[in-house]
């Protein structure tokens, strides 16, 4: 899968002014996290989840995104928060073990390639401290006719599923996105210890109801 599809910056820049994101933040999962914990929202968009965290008293918040327009909107809405535009994703300009918690909300869906997803998760593992928490929310493979036919259409146009995993598709407005099997997500997060997971129904950025999964996991603590 071409690297270009794993960083569709012009699509996300155009989306910055128009899209609303909705994956729900399940606050009970953060109940044990101190209010001054260093929290990174990777692929933060316009800062929606950071805004919710701030309203619940969290005070050490950082957002990172590939889209300069998303970061501009986020910074305008939240002048006191710290935001970073990623020039060479997934690389974060942060030392190892810099964060206590990393959120990854509806970002894997924007990164269709297996290898790009593996690099992204490895980078988040690097910047999390031992014992730190990863909270991911993303979309599962959908079983309805509309989705199954767009997975098949994309595979057909690209010479079969090959190394492009089943579940990649083109949206009506031109992004290449991916839905995931539970097995793939388990394999992708194999370096983390699972804590909890939940199935959620979300409205996608293009207004369709879809089934998502939220995963709470921990980077192994030092022994
Ligand atoms: C569907 S939006 C979700 C935004 C936010 N996490 C939320 O839930 O409100 C996906 C975001 O991921 C960003 N993104 C896409 N590919 C990325 C990548 N390779 N690295 C970092 N951010 C990326 C997009 O610019 C966009 O802001």
Domain residue ranges in the chain: 3-217
**CA–CA distance, 142 with 145 (Å, rounded to integer):** 9
Name the residue at shortest CA distance from atom 12 of ligand 1: 43
Q: pLDDT tens digit string along 43-85? A: 999 999 999 999 999 999 999 999 999 999 999 999 999 999 9
Contacts of 43 (CB under 8 A, 6+ apart): 64, 65, 66, 104, 105, 106, 107, 110
Kind plus residue range of the DSSP H or E element containing 153: helix 145-157
pLDDT at residue 204 greater than cutoff 90: no
> Is residue 56 classed exposed, middle or buried when 0-12, 13-18 and 19+ CB atoms within 10 A define those classes?
exposed
Q: pLDDT tens digit string along 142-196? A: 999 999 999 999 998 887 655 557 899 999 999 999 999 999 999 999 999 999 9
**CA–CA distance, 46 with 38 (Å, rounded to integer):** 19
Name the residue at shortest CA distance from atom 26 of ligand 1: 45
Residue list, ligand 1 pocket, CB within 6 Å: 6-7, 12, 21, 23, 43-45, 48-49, 65-67, 70, 86, 89-90, 105-107, 110-111, 205
- Look up the CATH architecture of domain 3-217: 3-Layer(aba) Sandwich (3.40)
**CA–CA distance, 162 with 158 (Å, rounded to integer):** 9
pLDDT at 208: 87
pLDDT at 2: 61
Token pair belonging to 18: 């128009």
Q: Which atom of ligand 1 is nearest to the CA of 90?
A: 20
Kind plus residue range of the DSSP H or E element containing 54: helix 48-55
Instruction: Choose one of 47, 67, 107 to mutate for the ligand 1 pocket test, by most ligand atoms within 8 angstroms of C-beta.
Output: 107
């Amino acid at each position: 899968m071409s690297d270009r599809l794993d960083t569709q910056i012009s699509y996300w820049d155009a989306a910055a002014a128009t899209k609303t994101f909705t994956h729900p933040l399940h606050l009970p999962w953060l109940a044990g996290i101190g209010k001054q914990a260093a929290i990174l929202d990777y692929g933060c968009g316009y800062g929606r989840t950071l805004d919710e965290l701030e309203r619940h008293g969290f005070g050490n918040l950082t957002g990172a995104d590939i889209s300069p327009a998303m970061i501009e909107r986020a910074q305008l809405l939240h002048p006191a928060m710290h935001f970073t535009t990623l020039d060479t994703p997934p690389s974060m300009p942060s030392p190892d073990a810099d964060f206590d918690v990393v959120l990854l909300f509806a970002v894997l869906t924007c990164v269709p390639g297996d290898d790009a997803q593996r690099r992204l998760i490895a980078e988040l593992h690097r910047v999390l401290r031992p014992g730190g928490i990863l909270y991911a929310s993303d979309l599962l493979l959908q079983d309805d006719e509309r989705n199954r036919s767009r997975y098949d259409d994309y595979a057909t146009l690209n010479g079969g599923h090959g190394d492009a995993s089943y579940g990649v598709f083109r949206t009506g407005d031109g992004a290449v996105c991916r839905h995931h099997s539970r097995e793939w997500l388990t394999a992708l997060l194999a370096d983390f210890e699972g804590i909890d997971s939940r199935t959620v129904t979300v409205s996608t950025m293009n207004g369709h109801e879809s089934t998502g999964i939220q995963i709470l996991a921990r980077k192994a603590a030092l022994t």
